[in-house]
Structure 1
Amino acid sequence: MKILVIGNGGREHAIAWKVSLSENVEKVYCAPGNGGMAIENKCENVALDTTPKLLEFAKKENIDLTIVGPEVKLVEGIVDVFKENGLKIFGPGKAAAQLEGSKSFSKDFMKKYGVKTAAYEVFQDVELAKKYAKDAEYPLVVKADGLAAGKGVVICSSYSEAESALNEFMVDDVFKGSGKTVVLEEFLDGVEASILSITDGNVIIPFISAKDHKQIFDNDEGPNTGGMGAIAPNPYCTPEVLKEFDEKILMPTLEGIKKENMDYCGIIFFGIMITKKGTYLLEYNVRMGDPETQAVLPLLISDFTEIILSAIDGKLKDIKIQWKKEAACCLVLASGGYPLKYETGREIKIKNNKSKVFAAGAIEDKGVLKTSGGRVLALVNTAKTLDEAIKATYNDVKNVEFDNMYFRKDIGTLYK
């Protein structure tokens, strides 16, 4: 088989690596790929980004399966275009992708199908939003309705913070249209968990749970990032939590997908909050998480390519996904200054490394790996216990070097 993986981040590197391990896969094209994907076994980068060019390439090269990494392409409707041209592609159609593409759409969907979630209101008028915020309980969560690269959520502790966020989103338009509509949501106090799942539209199978570490600094302090590391499984996802997740979030979501006749064959990512009052759904993502994917896929025993093909063929009910009875730790190495201002073009040196290395903001330049983004690399280890996985991952940091390298020192250790 020839496979096309769309994207250039750490998530896509992990996907490309995992599908390349299948005996049935001969070649994996990564579009546009990154410096790590370029040197991965069976992989080749192709400098393509637009849907028309990707479609043309898939036809010309007789690609057997396309896997879409980033949410933007899904929300834009690449799946519909490929299917109209008779090509196999893994991901939800444009209408179903609104579960991530629009916070108000997804919250209304949750409400309609009885998915357990926080109370909320939707606003398109900034003055009405401010009026509501003035009388609201705090903390209050302000969310941009559309895609905002993971930066469209602000937890406000006072009205002045909420007013500032509303002005930035709705008046200053910092997200170029994505914040013109906002969702004001009840704050839930608890521990977050990420549960990636796969669906063919009739069956949903959850993967192993994970815990993302969003804030830039230790002890979960500082501004949010795309994710500074992840562990799997999430220690807080007890059998009781997973039972409530299944009954009050997973199955009502599947019911909604069926009743709305959504074209949904792909990954559905549940961002949940585990509180003293129970387990709530925070959000849907319609693709794999980053860096959760880098922690979860190394624990997968089953052939990932075969799982995806089973979903496309509507046969998920016939498969059993096998996982290692181990834990994983993923540590992100970032450029100093991220998520604000940071420098790129710094040479990356990796020596005597035992971790699996997934590249994100890294490019290959004349045989030399260089930094090209905020989150540069992810180091991942699996072991019999979480403590062993954490220790092995941090032990390997000394084998990686680039100017102004930054990483958190407490990934996985806050959650025992």
Structure 2
Amino acid sequence: MTTLHGCEEFRTLTKELDRRSFIKSVMAVGGGLVITADPGMTYSLAAQGDAAGLVITVTMRGGMDGLMAVPLLGSSLLSSYRPQTSLNDSEQHSLDGTFGLHKNLGGFKELFDAKELAVIHAVGTPLGTRSHFDDQRAVEFAAYESGPTQEGWQTRFLKAAGHTEILSGFSGSRILPTAFSGSHQSVAFQAVSDIQLTAVGRSKQEYVNLLEKLHEGRRSVWSSSARTSIEASTRLSNLSEQSSVSYPNDAFSARLKLLAALLRSGTPIKTANIEFQGDLDVHDDAGIRDGVMADNFKRLNDGIMAFRKDIGDFWSRTALVTVTEFGRRLSENASAGLDHGWASAMFVMGGNVRGGQVIAKWPGIESSDLVNGDLRVTTDYRDVLASVLRGAGGMSTEGLRAVFPNFSASALNLFKG
């Protein structure tokens, strides 16, 4: 019998995302057109390429436990809080003598030692609600000090940076995540075969010919961008997803493999959002040694290491950052699980990352240090994202204000140069 992990709220939220995915699963990309179940037509404005790098967020929905991924070493107190959900120091990778890595994150340890991975601990949202729905939306909008907004933070990044081609943003899923809300520059698909270029009563090639003839010889920005988008759509339709690199056989790795194929083809992606889709909401039987969380960390590690190998030299211009809505409570429950908490850990990796460091304004884990039993957040996750957007996305201080309105980011020194 299959064990269903996760609280009722998270299972309901996952079902709702699946329902929305089905409704919007009919998508066509061509000539700058994005056609979904929602009526409408959008021609995107194509921007010229630039020297900025690629920003990838790995969205870890469900609430990743930071102290399982990046444990506090030599702490009998942590073991007393978690007699069934912590490992001995000898079973884990040591980072700096104070913090370690889960035993199944061996590739991350290699990146850390190669100065290509940095860890940020005790990080999270400014307001911990312990609600999957509220915190996931809040994390992806990232506009706490502003009024209601219809734009996700990755959409605001594309606008602030001037990336307006339809393929500037990519999500390897059936619908665009909330971080891309309000975007006309982004697309979502899980396989090249999902891309359709169709019109009622016409073959694909007839449709392409019609669009090209419509814009032939015209010099307006609108027509120029339309032609660029037609070319992009045609390029995607001929894209090969084959790779010489062996990836694990899971949904997360499949998304990374597709992204790698897009990058190798020259697709002008500036930011991507890749769903991890693991079983992170471990209210019972967390399985830190040989179970659910151990498997989660292995999939995360193996997928990213395959992706790094697959994209080759492009890794030098890539910054990959993991994001989760909250961590888990410090004390395990009676079911050998961990309930919703607050602070977690984030990983930032890439060829230009100032790696080999753990950034932690460590709050402590004595009972007096906790907030309602949770590890305290001492670093806002937007500080991490802002550092990534500045270091890999070429964002200025003014641009960052547009991406994260009314928020003044603290410098974290996460990138070289």
Fold conserved between structures, TM > 0.5: no
- Relative CO higher for 1 or 2, CA cutoff 8 Å, sep ≥ 6? 2
**TM-score for both structures, normalised by structure 1:** 0.28
More strand by share: 1
**TM-score for both structures, normalised by structure 2:** 0.28
